[in-house]
């Protein structure tokens, strides 16, 4: 089933009776070439690119709940390529290019909106750091414009420019940054993978990973045993538990990150605005709600809800940046479980068990990585070689100390990112 303007018009005139489900609901087979554990954005994108780029279609995606029910369905939807360090820079650049072709590639409207992202700075030192970051982005082939105070005022006139503690000196403008409809991304990849023959199996929890003589042979699930030549773990938020089934201990601590949405308002915020000094960022959804968040609650948690002190902190930061926000009513808040690595960068690598692959550690930045992560992970699974843009996301970089990617410069230690 293809979407087109003509099709929408025809269905509209004939009572919308011609639409079919977007994917099948197959029974698991006993044997697959590749089993992907985790039916979130990254897992579904991996399945899609395995089929599309590598012709590997005897693939199952096993999902404990429903497709896209985890972090891809509950995030603040920001898409950007404004990283600084080699390793991250080329990866997110590649991912953003995939975003830009995604709707055509998937024939699916993911509401990708390149409304521009502005990172504010508040001191001369920060201006230097952002100028340097902007140069790194331009060198990578992406876009970055350093705005002075008046440049920011032109785009974001509603900010408090006179704040004594955080006077706005300017901002780093990344016009190709923006937002997307989060669960549509999962649905689009699911639909594309299914159409190419991948089995998407929901309500199927993996309970064990079978390893014989150092080689993975399949998985145990709540819907029976499934044999597989290769098993890929893509379960950010639960990576430690699933990896433990294969006897692995990962360099990951799970933390909760909260986000908030207000009631729907008329268009007021046209961009994504990031106020790093206040640990606050905000955009406005197409539905009108202000979508914003802050920093981690900063303790290990799987509770999918945070604590009030961080709620207060985020609200205070919002009021500091744009006092008018105090008039808006918060509709709901939620907490997502983040795979936090010691250096704040992800892992896409082979596990120390043959035939087992790991994709985890996305910290609080996994959404924008969905296409790039799926593409690079599929490449690794299919060819057993690292895809160049993701070649530095190695599992052993913590043990060796080589190739750490610590964007914040705080050190490769848990609880600092």
Partner 1 sequence: MRLRCPLCGERDRREFTYKGAAVALDRPATEAWSADWDDYLHNRANPAGETRDLWQHAAGCGAWLVVTRDTVTHSIADVRLARGEGTA
- Looking at residue 90, the DSSP 8-state letter turns out to be H
Q: What is the total count of residues that contact partner 1 (CB under 8 A)? A: 24
Residue 106 in contact with partner 1, rule: CB under 8 A: no
Residue 240 in contact with partner 1, rule: CB under 8 A: yes
Q: Residue 206: helix, strand or coil by DSSP?
A: strand
**Distance of closest approach, residue 334 Cβ to partner 1, in angstroms:** 15
Q: Could you give the CA distance from residue 411 to residue 405 in angstroms, rounded to a whole number?
A: 9
Binding-residue pattern over the window 333 to 352 for partner 1, x denoting contact by CB under 8 A: ---------x----------
Residue 28 in contact with partner 1, rule: CB under 8 A: no
Residue found under tokens 């440049």: 151
Residue from 21, 309, 326, 409 touching partner 1 (CB under 8 A): that is 309
What is the distance between the terminal CA atoms of the chain, rounded to a whole angstrom? 44
The one segment of 32-40, 128-136, 241-249, 276-284 that binds partner 1 by CB under 8 A? 241-249
| Of 364 and 375, CB closest to partner 1 | 364
Longest Cα–Cα distance of the chain, Å, equals 66
Q: Say how far residue 6 (Cα) sits from the centre of its chain.
A: 33
**Distance of closest approach, residue 394 Cβ to partner 1, in angstroms:** 13
- Looking at residue 15, the DSSP 8-state letter turns out to be T
Beta strands in 95-169 (DSSP E): 117-121, 145-148
**Distance of closest approach, residue 399 Cβ to partner 1, in angstroms:** 4
* Residue ranges in 379-398 that form contacts with partner 1 under rule CB under 8 A: 398
Q: Could you give the CA distance from residue 339 to residue 264 in angstroms, rounded to a whole number?
A: 31
Residue 54's Cβ-count burial label (10 Å; 0-12, 13-18, 19+) is middle
**Distance of closest approach, residue 189 Cβ to partner 1, in angstroms:** 27
Residue 80 in contact with partner 1, rule: CB under 8 A: no
Going by DSSP bridges, is the β-strand pair 206-212/215-221 parallel, antiparallel, or unpaired? antiparallel
Residue 367 in contact with partner 1, rule: CB under 8 A: no
| Of 43 and 251, CB closest to partner 1 | 251
| Of 66 and 299, CB closest to partner 1 | 299
Say if CB 390 and CB 408 are below 8 A apart.
no
Residue 251 in contact with partner 1, rule: CB under 8 A: yes
Residue 151 dihedral angles phi and psi, to the nearest 5°: -65, -40
Q: Could you give the CA distance from residue 265 to residue 329 in angstroms, rounded to a whole number?
A: 10
* Residue ranges in 254-293 that form contacts with partner 1 under rule CB under 8 A: 254
Residue 252 in contact with partner 1, rule: CB under 8 A: yes
**How many beta carbons lie within 10 A of that of residue 365, not counting itself?**
18
The one segment of 80-88, 121-129, 220-228, 244-252 that binds partner 1 by CB under 8 A? 244-252
Angle (deg, nearest 10), helices 41-54 and 370-383: 50
Distances (CA, A) of 348 to 168, 216, 345: 38, 18, 10
Residue from 17, 249, 266, 385 touching partner 1 (CB under 8 A): that is 249
Residue 417 in contact with partner 1, rule: CB under 8 A: no
| Of 77 and 301, CB closest to partner 1 | 301
Residue 301 in contact with partner 1, rule: CB under 8 A: yes
Binding site for partner 1 (CB under 8 A): 238, 240-241, 244, 249-254, 298-303, 307, 309, 342, 398-399, 413-415
């Amino acid at each position: 089933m293809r979407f087109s303007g003509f099709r929408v018009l025809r269905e509209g005139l004939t009572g919308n009776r011609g639409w079919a489900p977007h994917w099948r609901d197959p029974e698991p087979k006993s044997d697959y070439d590749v089993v992907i554990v985790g039916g979130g954005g990254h897992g579904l994108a991996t399945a899609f690119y395995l089929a599309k780029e590598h012709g590997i279609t005897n693939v199952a995606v096993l999902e404990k709940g429903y497709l896209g029910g985890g972090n891809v369905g509950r995030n603040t939807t920001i898409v950007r390529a404004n990283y600084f360090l080699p390793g991250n820079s080329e990866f997110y650049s590649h991912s953003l290019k995939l975003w830009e072709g995604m709707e055509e590639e998937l024939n699916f409207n993911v509401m990708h909106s390149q409304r521009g992202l502005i990172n504010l700075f508040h001191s001369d030192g920060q201006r230097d750091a952002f100028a340097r970051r902007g140069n790194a982005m331009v060198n990578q082939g992406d876009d970055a414009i350093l705005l002075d105070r008046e440049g920011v005022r032109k785009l974001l006139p509603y900010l408090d420019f006179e704040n004594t503690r955080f006077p706005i000196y300017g901002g780093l403008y990344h016009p190709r940054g923006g937002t997307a409809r989060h669960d549509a991304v999962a649905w689009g990849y699911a639909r594309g993978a299914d159409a190419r023959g991948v089995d998407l199996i929901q309500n199927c929890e993996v309970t064990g990973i079978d390893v014989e003589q150092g080689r993975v042979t399949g998985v145990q699930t709540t819907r029976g045993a499934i044999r597989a030549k290769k098993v890929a773990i893509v379960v950010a938020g639960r990576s430690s538990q699933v990896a433990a089934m294969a006897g692995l201990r990962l360099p990951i601590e799970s933390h909760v990150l909260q986000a908030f949405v207000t009631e729907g308002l008329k268009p007021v915020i046209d961009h994504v605005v990031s106020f790093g000094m206040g640990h606050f960022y905000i955009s406005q959804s197409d539905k009108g709600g202000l979508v914003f968040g802050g920093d981690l609650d900063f303790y290990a948690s799987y509770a999918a809800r945070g604590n009030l002190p961080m709620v207060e902190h985020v609200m205070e930061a919002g009021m500091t940046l744009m006092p008018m926000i105090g008039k808006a009513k918060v509709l709901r808040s939620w907490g997502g479980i983040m795979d936090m690595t010691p250096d704040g960068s992800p892992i896409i690598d082979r596990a120390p068990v043959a035939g087992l692959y790991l994709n985890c550690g996305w910290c609080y930045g996994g959404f924008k990585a969905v296409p790039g992560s799926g593409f690079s992970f599929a490449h690794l699974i299919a060819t057993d070689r690292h895809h160049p843009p993701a070649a530095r996301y190695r599992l052993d970089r913590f043990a060796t100390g080589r190739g750490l990617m610590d964007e914040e410069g705080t050190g490769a230690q848990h609880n600092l990112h």
